[in-house]
Amino acid sequence: MTAGRSSEANGSSSANGFDFGAVAKGPVSSSSASRTPSESASGVPRNPSVSALRGQFGDAVLRSQVNAGDQDVVYVEPERILDVLRWLRETPEEHYDHLADVTAVDYGGGHPLEVVYQLWSIPHRRALRLKCELPLPSLEIDSATAIWTGADWLEREVYDMFGVRFRGHPNLRRILMPDNYAEGHPLRKDFPLRGRFSRAEQTRRALSQEPEDYYAPGELANRTPQTADDTEGGAA
Interface residues with other proteins (CB under 8 A) are 1-2, 5, 9, 14-16, 18, 20, 22-31, 35, 37, 67-69, 71, 73, 97-101, 103, 105-108, 116, 118, 122, 125, 127, 129, 148-154, 157, 161, 174-178, 186-187, 191, 193, 215, 217, 219-220
- In the complex with other proteins, the residue whose CB is nearer, 166 or 191, is 191
| Least distance to other proteins, CB of residue 195, Å | 10
User: Whole-angstrom Cα distance, residue 173 to residue 188?
Assistant: 17
Q: How far is the CB of 210 from other proteins (least distance, A)?
A: 16
- Which amino acid, one-letter code, is at 89? R
How many C-beta neighbours within 10 Å does residue 72 have? 21
For residues 58 and 133, which CB has a smaller minimum distance to other proteins in the complex?
133
Rounded least distance, CB 169 to other proteins, Å:
13
Q: What are phi and psi of 124, to 5 degrees?
A: -90, -10
8-state DSSP, 137: T
Distance CA 13, CA 97 (A): 53
User: For residue 148, which of 118, 126, 115, 105 has the smallest C-alpha distance?
Assistant: 118
Residue closer to other proteins by CB (options 21, 56) is 21
Task: Give the separation between CA 185 and CA 236, rounded to whole angstroms.
Answer: 9
Integer Cα distance of 116 and 162 in angstroms: 12
- The distance of closest approach from Cβ of residue 182 to other proteins in the complex, given in angstroms and rounded to an integer, is 15
Q: Based on CB atoms, which residue is closest to other proteins, 30 or 224?
A: 30
Q: Residue 175 or 235: which CB sits closer to other proteins? A: 175
Closest approach of other proteins to the CB of residue 58, in Å: 25
Task: Pick between residue 57 and residue 195 the one whose CB is nearest to other proteins.
Answer: 195
To other proteins, the closest distance from the beta carbon of 72 in angstroms equals: 11
Cβ closest to other proteins, residue 165 vs residue 174:
174
Q: What's the CA gap between 217 and 25, in Å, rounded?
A: 57
Residues 104 and 158: beta-carbon distance below 8 Å: yes
Least Å distance between CB 56 and other proteins?
23
